Amino acid sequence: MTTAFDPKTPLAELAHALAQGTLTSRALTETALERIAEAGGNGGHAFISVDADGARAQADAIDAQRKAGAELSPLAGLPVSIKDLFDVVGQPTRAGSAVLADAAPATQDAEVVTRLRAAGAVLIGRSNMSEFAFSGLGINPHFGSPLSPWRPEERRVSGGSSSGAAASVATGMAAYGLGTDTGGSLRIPAAFCGLTGFKPTANRIPTQGGIPLSITLDSFGAIAPTVQCCAIVDQILAGAPQQAAALAVSSAAGRASKAERAAGIAGRRFAILTNVVMDGVEPEVERAFEAALARLSNLGAELVDMRFDTLDRLAAINKFGFSPMESWWYHRAWTATRAESYDARVLARIRAGEAATAADYLDLLAARRGVIADAAKAFEGYDAILMPTAPMLPPQIDDLKQDAAFFAANGRALRNPSIINFIDGCALSVPAPAYDDAPVGLMVAGLHGQDASILALGDAIEAGLLS
């Protein structure tokens, strides 16, 4: 096998090599396809389907354009995995479910896929996921469950719901992955696979052409090797290719050293939540989190421990939750005719929304507005909110066979990241250095619309933790 790129290579480095002519898109694509084939043809359950011929044709077209002197985006020629809930013209969208086994091919691309195509992305295949995106663990009884690359012999989950997206990037079957985040579905798998995931402010990226979990909370974004990678993809998804190109050029041209980037931490003020998010944190996660905080403090950050009392009421506020109520609305016809085709655990969560009334839904909308206002007041004057992305290491699949164990682990995985979705914020998960390379994520979160500042600050934090 000829290896054209190492797993987790930053996107700007790949784009620079392509621009310099030392690498071709076809070589990148063949490397990704060979890795997928070596792992059983589906990338070890990372993919539901692989479009090898289509990917090769896209790669050859990009190489031809580049040879002809065309000006291309930084994503041109880079292989991307597409989560199975996005429409791709000519392909069925199954959302990781047997319920949609007979789905007709999509007649047009989801808007985010259209934007990736326009940027020259090579669509390598449809990545696996928790059925209908309704789990933070990534277990799928229909198509198999992708594994975290950490201690693979122990068969640990890769995180959900964008499980295949993370697994594909961690193993070099794609340069980056397109996914979604409703309660942590980009950040949890990024944390469990040693990657970076960015959840943008909801509705900042168009959601047309994606099967919804919660029309209120869904966000579309990327899992990628670094913060800068996520920022480049985010700009493409947001319809700002020139900004994406500028980010890639600055990186490829030899941007500031890690120490210079980390200097941006000095004088920053971070809110360190002490209630709810630290409950039941596993020792390995706590040690990594504390070590990361110590590093940031040494670099000149001001760390302020604080209680956000509103968090103590979130469980009661979410008696039903947006995801169960809104997914019941979306699925109610299928649950009446195809209930046996669902993952029973997913169906149970969907049906939890059936008993909710219109009054319950309006009460939740009103309560959320109050929580968002509380958050805006509580976090005013802070540059970011820091917490562990998930309070535990990725659990072993064999330990989740019983429903009670599964639902307990699922709730724990989703608890911290879902807070940011509920307050309508944005957030990164970046790897926190840990003993034995254990995958621990540090969440760097902000309020509504603070995407650019969180990405910039996340880049400085990433550099600080690695310098």
434-449 residue pLDDT tens: 888 999 999 999 999 9
Provide the 3-class DSSP secondary structure of residue 361: helix
Per-residue CA distances from 340 to 74, 117, 137 (Å): 45, 36, 22
Residue matched to tokens 């997913």: 346
Q: What angle do the packed helices 11-20 and 227-237 form, to 10 degrees?
A: 80
Question: Is pLDDT of 253 > 70?
Answer: no
| Model confidence pLDDT, tens digit, residues 37-83 | 999 999 999 999 999 999 999 999 999 999 999 999 999 999 999 99
Are both 245 and 267 inside the same structural domain? no
The pLDDT value recorded for residue 258 is 87
Which two tokens mark 10?
A: 């930053």
32 within 8 A of 173, measured Cβ to Cβ: yes
Query: How far, in Å, CA of 412 to CA of 215, rounded?
Result: 23
**Is 449 part of a structural domain of the chain?**
yes
Query: How many domains is the chain partitioned into structurally?
Result: 2
The answer to whether 28 and 2 have CB atoms below 8 angstroms apart is no
SS in 3 state form for 111-176? HHHHHHHHCCCEEEEEECCCHHHCCCCCCCCCCCCCECCCCHHHCEECCCCCHHHHHHHHCCCCCE
pLDDT class for 467, splitting at 50, 70, 90?
confident
Q: What mean pLDDT, rounded, does the chain reach?
A: 97
Here the CATH number for the domain that contains residue 400 is 3.90.1300.10
Is residue 6 situated within a structural domain?
no
Indicate whether 252 pLDDT > 80.
no
Give the separation between CA 386 and CA 429, rounded to whole angstroms: 10
Residue 314 within a domain: yes
- Alpha helices in 187-312, H assignment, sequence order: 187-192, 227-237, 241-252, 258-262, 283-298
The first and second tokens of residue 69, run together, are 């002197």
Q: Is residue 197 part of a domain?
A: yes
> Domain boundary residue among 217, 252, 287?
252
Indicate if 107 and 161 belong to the same structural domain.
Answer: yes
Residues 241 and 291 in one domain: no
Is residue 49 in a domain?
Answer: yes
Same domain, 299 and 234: no
pLDDT of residue 1: 63
Give Cα 178 to chain centroid, integer Å: 8
One domain, residues 309 and 369: yes
- 258 lies in a domain? no
Name the strand (E) or helix (H) holding 181: strand 176-181
The residue with tokens 């149970």 is 348
**DSSP letters for 106-122:** BSS--HHHHHHHHTT-E
Q: Which residues pair with 49 in a beta bridge?
A: 126
Give catalytic residue positions: 83, 161, 185
Q: Which residues pair with 82 in a beta bridge?
A: 126, 178
CA–CA dist 335, 126 (Å, integer): 25
* Domain end among 231, 252, 273: 252
333 shares a domain with 226: no
Q: Are 14 and 66 in contact (CB under 8 A)?
A: no
Give the pLDDT score at 251: 75
Band (460; pLDDT cuts 50, 70, 90): very high
Domain end point (choices 252, 280, 295): 252
Residues 408 and 288 in one domain: yes
Same domain, yes or no: 175 and 93: yes
The span from the CA of 96 to the CA of 57, in Å, is 26
Question: If you search the block for the tokens 């989740």, which residue do you land on?
Answer: 400
pLDDT band (50, 70, 90) for residue 257 = confident
d(CA 395, CA 405): 10
Cβ proximity of 132 and 96 under 8 Å: yes
Do 325 and 270 fall into the same domain? Answer: yes
The predicted-structure confidence for 126-160, as pLDDT tens digits, reads as follows 999 999 999 999 999 999 999 999 999 999 999 99
Which residue is associated with the tokens 């958050």? 375
Lowest-confidence segment of 1-15, 171-185, 295-309 by average pLDDT: 1-15
112-135 residue pLDDT tens: 999 999 999 999 999 999 999 999
Query: Do 420 and 356 lie in a common domain?
Result: yes
Its domain, for residue 57, covers 11-252
**Do residue 428 and residue 326 come from a single domain?**
yes
Decide if pLDDT at 429 tops 90: yes
Do 277 and 134 share a domain, yes or no? no
